[in-house]
């Protein structure tokens, strides 16, 4: 029985066990894999990489035709800051973002000091060449030929002093420090008390105005010399994209960034406003003219012949002056400037697509929307692209995508007058922005040419830019990547296409400055520009000829250049917003700092040594920084990506590294600039300067008068200590167990 029972029970037991085991295994599998733990509903989302299909879908979604239509709309009317279309364009952008499905879109206005040329017929600004009896020989025009729109402001240099001066003319080349020094030291032509005429180019016009005032000029006339705006054999507008004889470059001559009345703080309703007298706006009249007028004013000048490098592209022999020679010797130049300054409202627009996982982390894309006239290059080509990028992201969002981090769109007002909208915004929200911003990606003029990319960026973003460019097809040769054509056309090492593509240092000159130089947020700025072989920027810059047709007929007839900028911009933004670990490469920072230190040693090492000033501590700090970045970068490979706090901790350090270069005391004599590693050059706000505190202290130090020399060397010592400390501090922020 027992046996029998045994025999008969065994299959039951075996079957039961087998079924139980199968059930158990199945159950464990189901229990483990199929049922999310209610305690950790977020686990997967928190540690997931972004959807890898998104970047490619975004690229496909960006349509040349839409960008074209955007630009047509944006350039329909002049849209200078503070006038009707500042608000008009701002509203258009806000409404579009709402339509695209952004989570928010709103106007953020500031009340700032703006300047306009007087339109009173008795107070028109102008430059005239006069006979001794006052007869006008030639006079500058109130508008470019072919431009009749009453909304188009006449050419002017915003924030020039108003005044009516007449006197002898002196030609000062580019009005750089070295140009004035040549005049005074070498050829003994004193510009003091004279009306000086300078050609545009090489440095920021605000620096020209400052230097002219420093050297005592009574007034400054700026003009676009053909050498800087017409290449031989190339047709001028409207037959081509070179500057015609009637075109004039407008532009601000305000040097500090932001609203001049409210430095460091936002220009809001309760702001404390300086008296205009207590600001350092230009003290002399400054006014721009065309080369068609300039040639008549420069002809027959007296004085020594200008040095050969000072000879421009006009069909005359340039003389230095002062005044005229021969039958013209009694002629004088008269410069009249009348500008009205008033506090007016400019409008920023801020839109967001909120992050799903880390809504408190921002990737900001920005562009300004104000233009001197139609702005088909500057800035509306960028605005047209940004609108299309917003539309495409909105479409992805409608299809179910949401970025890990928040993407913020910023459309700035009054950039042309001095980065005013973006500066006031950054000053207003600086605490939030410094805490939350991963990076700021600027695009001012998206397409000022169709040659290849022109990029400036913090070292932190360079690797991201390169990787993104590899994923975007070239607009002219779609079989190649943007990266490949870019590094061929603009290699890091001139003439060597085997190097990486060139990425410039950030100076000032567009809206990245407040983010990068003041707030310490990693930033980049992108454009597609003309062939650097031309030796100048795009010729119609800031003229009324920046029209829709300029883009549609000459720069980007099939609109793929614009598209490629949008693709690169979108690729960068989405990568930054979606990557689990931020794609910021700290090693590039170390490499850049090392290169900067090498350059410093090469240029000033023996001069410093003669003063018993060594670079050892700086070099040791750079070595520590390099070591810290190497260790940190290695640690990224082993960070537990399934631990959201571990990932957040390394991302926090990546995000905050740029800010570690901010010295709250700012640079000597220009405390608003606070980045110790990079600033605009003090002698040219457009250009980026390495270790600016040191560079300024060392600038032309051998020629400083002996009484001031000791103080300058003390400043060098102090700035060397500050620079060393800041680099070491930045290294420390990457260290885990500092104590």
Residues 6+ apart with CB under 8 A from 614: 608
The string of DSSP letters for 535-595 reads SSS-TTTTSTT--HHIIIIII-TTSHHHHHHHHHHHHHHHHHHH-SS----HHHHHHHHHH
For the chain, give the longest Cα–Cα distance: 143
- Judged by CB under 8 A, the stretch of 234-242, 318-326, 549-557, 654-662 that binds a second copy is 654-662
- How far is residue 515's CA from residue 425's CA, in Å, rounded to a whole number? 10
Instruction: Reduce the secondary structure of 478-514 to three states and give it as a string.
Output: CCCEHHHHHHHHCEEECCEEEEEECEECCCCCCCHHH
The residues in 187-226 that bind a second copy, with binding defined as CB under 8 A, are none
431 binds a second copy (CB under 8 A): yes
- How far is residue 531's CA from residue 658's CA, in Å, rounded to a whole number? 31
Burial 343-355 (b: 16+ CB within 10 A, else e): bbbbbbbbbbbbb
- Judged by CB under 8 A, the stretch of 72-80, 84-92, 430-438, 479-487 that binds a second copy is 430-438
Least Å distance between CB 638 and a second copy?
15
Phi-psi region of 700 (alpha: psi -120 to 50; beta: other; left: phi over 0): left
Could you tell me how many residues of this chain bind a second copy (CB under 8 A)?
91
- How far is residue 415's CA from residue 243's CA, in Å, rounded to a whole number? 23
- Judged by CB under 8 A, the stretch of 19-27, 81-89, 147-155, 193-201 that binds a second copy is 19-27
Q: Which is nearer to a second copy, 10 or 119 (CB)?
A: 10
Q: Which of 325, 330, 432, 504 binds a second copy (CB under 8 A)?
A: 432
- Judged by CB under 8 A, the stretch of 22-30, 375-383, 440-448, 681-689 that binds a second copy is 22-30
User: CA neighbours within 13 Å on the CB side: how many for 663?
Assistant: 24
Least Å distance between CB 269 and a second copy?
7
Q: Which of 467, 652, 670, 704 binds a second copy (CB under 8 A)?
A: 652
707 binds a second copy (CB under 8 A): no
Residue that is written with structure tokens 């915004």 in the block: 425
Q: Which of 6, 21, 49, 135 binds a second copy (CB under 8 A)?
A: 21
Element (H, E) at 604: helix 586-610
* DSSP, res 667: B
Least Å distance between CB 714 and a second copy?
8
Least Å distance between CB 505 and a second copy?
22
Q: Which is nearer to a second copy, 61 or 259 (CB)?
A: 259
The pair of structure tokens assigned to 177 is: 């420090």
The pair of structure tokens assigned to 353 is: 């697509």
Q: Which is nearer to a second copy, 57 or 106 (CB)?
A: 106
The residues in 73-102 that bind a second copy, with binding defined as CB under 8 A, are none
Least Å distance between CB 443 and a second copy?
19
The pair of structure tokens assigned to 330 is: 């009694």
Q: Which is nearer to a second copy, 28 or 56 (CB)?
A: 28
**Closest by CA position to 466, among listed 450, 478, 484:** 484
- How far is residue 517's CA from residue 525's CA, in Å, rounded to a whole number? 13
Q: Which of 57, 77, 104, 124 binds a second copy (CB under 8 A)?
A: 104
400 binds a second copy (CB under 8 A): no
Q: Which is nearer to a second copy, 367 or 724 (CB)?
A: 724
Least Å distance between CB 5 and a second copy?
14
CB 283 within 8 A of CB 580: no
Least Å distance between CB 22 and a second copy?
6
Q: Which is nearer to a second copy, 8 or 233 (CB)?
A: 8
Residue that is written with structure tokens 């601000």 in the block: 252
Contact string 334-373 vs a second copy (x = CB under 8 A):
----------------xxx-x--xxxx-------------
- How far is residue 722's CA from residue 673's CA, in Å, rounded to a whole number? 14
Residue that is written with structure tokens 């021969």 in the block: 326
Beta pairing class for 339-353 and 251-252: unpaired
**Closest by CA position to 79, among listed 376, 409, 387, 442:** 376
Least Å distance between CB 359 and a second copy?
7
Q: Which is nearer to a second copy, 94 or 466 (CB)?
A: 94
Which is it for the CA torsion 562, 563, 566, 567, positive or negative? negative
Least Å distance between CB 640 and a second copy?
7
Q: Which is nearer to a second copy, 265 or 699 (CB)?
A: 265
The residues in 410-429 that bind a second copy, with binding defined as CB under 8 A, are 428-429
Q: Which is nearer to a second copy, 31 or 193 (CB)?
A: 31
Q: Which of 6, 20, 188, 497 binds a second copy (CB under 8 A)?
A: 20
Least Å distance between CB 88 and a second copy?
21
The residues in 306-335 that bind a second copy, with binding defined as CB under 8 A, are none
Least Å distance between CB 111 and a second copy?
13
Q: Which is nearer to a second copy, 56 or 642 (CB)?
A: 642
- Judged by CB under 8 A, the stretch of 10-18, 139-147, 453-461, 550-558 that binds a second copy is 10-18
Which is it for the CA torsion 207, 211, 212, 213, positive or negative? positive
Residue 407, CA distances (Å) to 189, 428, 437, 441, 651 in order: 56, 19, 10, 11, 16
739 binds a second copy (CB under 8 A): yes
Q: Which is nearer to a second copy, 40 or 479 (CB)?
A: 40
Q: Which of 617, 627, 633, 712 binds a second copy (CB under 8 A)?
A: 617
Q: Which is nearer to a second copy, 29 or 136 (CB)?
A: 29
The residues in 228-287 that bind a second copy, with binding defined as CB under 8 A, are 264-266, 268-272
Q: Find the helix packing angle between 586-610 and 644-657, rounded to 10°.
A: 30
The pair of structure tokens assigned to 168 is: 């002898």
Least Å distance between CB 696 and a second copy?
16
730 binds a second copy (CB under 8 A): yes
Q: Which is nearer to a second copy, 433 or 576 (CB)?
A: 433
737 binds a second copy (CB under 8 A): yes
- How far is residue 727's CA from residue 532's CA, in Å, rounded to a whole number? 34
CB 460 within 8 A of CB 503: no
The residues in 127-166 that bind a second copy, with binding defined as CB under 8 A, are none
The residues in 444-503 that bind a second copy, with binding defined as CB under 8 A, are none
**Closest by CA position to 428, among listed 534, 315, 515, 317:** 515
710 binds a second copy (CB under 8 A): no
CB 320 within 8 A of CB 183: yes
Q: Which of 57, 98, 106, 166 binds a second copy (CB under 8 A)?
A: 106
The residues in 23-52 that bind a second copy, with binding defined as CB under 8 A, are 23-33, 35, 37, 39-44, 46-47
670 binds a second copy (CB under 8 A): no
- How far is residue 631's CA from residue 566's CA, in Å, rounded to a whole number? 35
* DSSP, res 153: P
Q: Which is nearer to a second copy, 37 or 308 (CB)?
A: 37
22 binds a second copy (CB under 8 A): yes
């Amino acid at each position: 029985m027992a046996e029998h029972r045994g025999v008969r029970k065994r299959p039951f037991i075996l079957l039961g066990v087998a079924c139980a085991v199968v059930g158990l295994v199945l159950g464990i599998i189901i229990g483990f894999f199929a049922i999310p733990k209610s305690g950790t509903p977020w686990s997967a989302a928190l540690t997931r990489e972004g959807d890898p299909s998104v970047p490619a879908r975004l690229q496909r979604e960006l349509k040349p035709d839409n960008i074209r239509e955007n630009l047509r709309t944006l350039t329909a009317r002049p849209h200078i800051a503070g006038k009707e279309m500042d608000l008009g364009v701002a509203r258009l952008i806000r409404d579009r973002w709402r339509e695209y499905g952004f989570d928010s879109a709103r106007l953020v206005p500031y009340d700032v000091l703006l300047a306009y040329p007087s339109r009173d017929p008795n107070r028109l600004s102008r430059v005239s060449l006069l006979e001794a009896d006052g007869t006008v020989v030639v006079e500058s025009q109130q508008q470019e030929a072919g431009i009749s729109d009453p909304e188009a402001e006449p050419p002017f240099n915003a924030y020039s002093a108003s005044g009516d001066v007449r006197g002898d003319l002196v030609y000062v080349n580019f009005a750089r420090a070295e140009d004035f020094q040549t005049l005074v030291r070498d050829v003994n032509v004193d510009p003091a008390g004279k009306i000086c005429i300078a050609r545009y180019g090489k440095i920021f016009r605000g620096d020209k105005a400052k230097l002219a005032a420093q050297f005592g000029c009574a007034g400054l006339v700026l003009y676009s010399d053909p050498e800087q705006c017409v290449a031989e054999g190339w047709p001028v507008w409207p037959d081509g994209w070179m500057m015609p004889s009637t075109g004039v470059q407008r532009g601000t001559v305000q040097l500090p960034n932001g609203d001049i009345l409210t430095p460091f703080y936002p220009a809001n309703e309760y702001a404390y406003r300086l008296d205009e007298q207590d600001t350092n706006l230009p003290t002399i009249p400054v006014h721009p003219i065309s080369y068609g007028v300039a040639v008549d004013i420069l002809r027959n000048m007296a004085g020594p012949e200008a040095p050969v490098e000072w000879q421009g592209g006009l069909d005359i022999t340039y003389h230095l002056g002062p005044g005229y020679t021969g039958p013209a010797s009694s002629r004088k130049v008269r410069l009249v400037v009348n500008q009205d300054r008033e506090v007016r409202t400019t409008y920023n627009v801020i839109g967001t697509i909120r992050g799903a996982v880390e809504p408190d982390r921002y990737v900001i894309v920005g562009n300004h929307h104000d233009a001197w006239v139609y702005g088909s290059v500057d800035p509306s080509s960028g605005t047209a692209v940004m609108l299309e990028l917003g539309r495409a992201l909105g479409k992805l969002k409608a299809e179910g995508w949401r970025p890990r981090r928040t993407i913020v769109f910023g459309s700035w007002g009054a950039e042309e007058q001095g980065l005013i909208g973006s500066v006031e915004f950054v000053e207003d929200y600086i605490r939030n922005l410094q805490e939350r911003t991963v990076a700021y990606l600027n695009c001012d003029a998206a397409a000022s040419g169709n040659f290849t990319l022109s990029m400036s960026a913090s070292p932190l973003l360079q690797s991201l830019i390169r990787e993104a460019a590899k994923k975007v097809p070239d607009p002219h040769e779609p079989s190649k990547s943007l990266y490949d054509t870019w590094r061929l056309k603009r290699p890091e090492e001139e003439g060597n296409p085997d190097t990486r593509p060139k990425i410039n240092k950030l100076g000032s000159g567009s809206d990245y400055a407040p983010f990068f130089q003041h707030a310490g947020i990693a930033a980049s700025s992108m454009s597609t520009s003309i062939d650097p072989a031309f030796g100048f920027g795009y010729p119609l810059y800031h003229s009324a000829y920046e029209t829709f047709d300029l883009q549609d007929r000459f720069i980007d007839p099939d609109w793929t250049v614009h598209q490629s900028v949008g693709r690169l911009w979108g690729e960068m933004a989405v990568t930054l917003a979606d990557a689990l670990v931020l794609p910021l490469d700290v090693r590039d920072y170390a490499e850049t700092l090392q290169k900067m230190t090498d350059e410093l040693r090469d240029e000033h090492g023996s001069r410093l040594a003669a003063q018993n000033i060594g670079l050892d501590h700086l070099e040791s700090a750079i070595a520590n920084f390099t070591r810290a970045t190497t260790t940190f970068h290695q640690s990224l490979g082993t960070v537990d990506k399934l631990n959201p706090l571990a990932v957040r901790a390394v991302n926090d350090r990546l995000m905050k590294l740029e800010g570690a270069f901010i010295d709250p005391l700012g640079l000597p004599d220009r405390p608003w600039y606070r980045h110790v590693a990079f600033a605009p050059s003090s002698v040219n706000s457009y250009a980026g300067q390495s270790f600016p505190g040191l560079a300024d202290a060392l600038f032309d130090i051998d020629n400083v008068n002996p009484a001031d020399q000791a103080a300058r060397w003390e400043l060098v010592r102090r700035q060397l200590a500050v620079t060393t400390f800041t680099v070491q501090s930045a290294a420390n922020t990457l260290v885990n167990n500092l104590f």
